[in-house]
């Protein structure tokens, strides 16, 4: 899986901004379970609500199935509440995503998205906004 490193390519920055904007404008609750997304932000995407009691093996199987459900997913992202600092749930999906992508022979990027920004938990690359808004 490719690491995102600064400077992130302009096309990737636009896609990630789209993921943040979509999350910020559609999720109104302050507390909600994390949601795993596989696909392209603002494109074909499959989502799954996280369950805390899932183990590494089950998460790997789930991510593998989601990766198989799309032709060529370029992104795997986790939307959740809270700050962009790395949390346990981020790591509980990162490992299985790496394993499933390796088994499948795909190369998606993995990022965490909150209503204020995005971050690659492996490289630390990311961007945040105080208030993200639609561009005119």
Per-residue confidence (pLDDT) for residue 116, from 0 to 100: 95
Other residues' Cβ atoms within 10 Å of the Cβ of residue 24: 19
Other residues' Cβ atoms within 10 Å of the Cβ of residue 18: 14
Q: What is the pLDDT along the chain (136 residues), one digit of tens a residue?
A: 678 888 999 999 999 999 999 999 999 888 999 999 999 998 899 999 999 999 999 999 999 999 999 877 779 999 999 999 999 999 999 999 999 999 998 889 999 999 999 999 999 999 999 888 777 6
Per-residue confidence (pLDDT) for residue 63, from 0 to 100: 96
d(CA 11, CA 52): 33
Give, for 109, the enclosing helix (H) or strand (E). Answer: strand 109-114
Per-residue confidence (pLDDT) for residue 76, from 0 to 100: 97
pTM of the model: 0.92
Per-residue confidence (pLDDT) for residue 1, from 0 to 100: 62
Q: Are strands 109-114 and 75-79 parallel, antiparallel or unpaired?
A: parallel
Per-residue confidence (pLDDT) for residue 135, from 0 to 100: 73
For 26, 28, 72, 109, 129, the CA distances from 2, given in Å and listed in that order, are 28, 31, 15, 6, 24
Is residue 39 left, alpha or beta, with left meaning phi > 0 and alpha meaning psi from -120 to 50? left
Which residue(s) pair with 41 in the sheet?
none
Per-residue confidence (pLDDT) for residue 113, from 0 to 100: 98
d(CA 27, CA 114): 10
Per-residue confidence (pLDDT) for residue 84, from 0 to 100: 95
């Amino acid at each position: 899986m490719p690491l995102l490193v600064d400077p992130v390519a302009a096309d990737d920055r636009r896609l990630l901004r789209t993921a943040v904007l979509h999350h910020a404008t559609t999720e109104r609750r302050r507390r909600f379970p994390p949601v795993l997304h596989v696909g392209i932000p603002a494109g074909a995407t499959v989502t799954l609500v996280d369950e805390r009691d899932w183990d590494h093996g089950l998460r790997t199987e789930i991510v593998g199935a989601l990766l198989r459900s799309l032709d060529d997913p370029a992104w795997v992202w986790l939307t959740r509440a809270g700050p962009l600092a790395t949390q346990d749930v981020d790591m509980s999906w990162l490992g299985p995503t790496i394993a499933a992508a390796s088994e499948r022979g795909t190369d998606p990027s993995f990022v965490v998205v909150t209503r204020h920004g995005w971050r690659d938990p492996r490289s630390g690359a990311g961007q945040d906004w105080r208030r993200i808004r639609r561009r005119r």
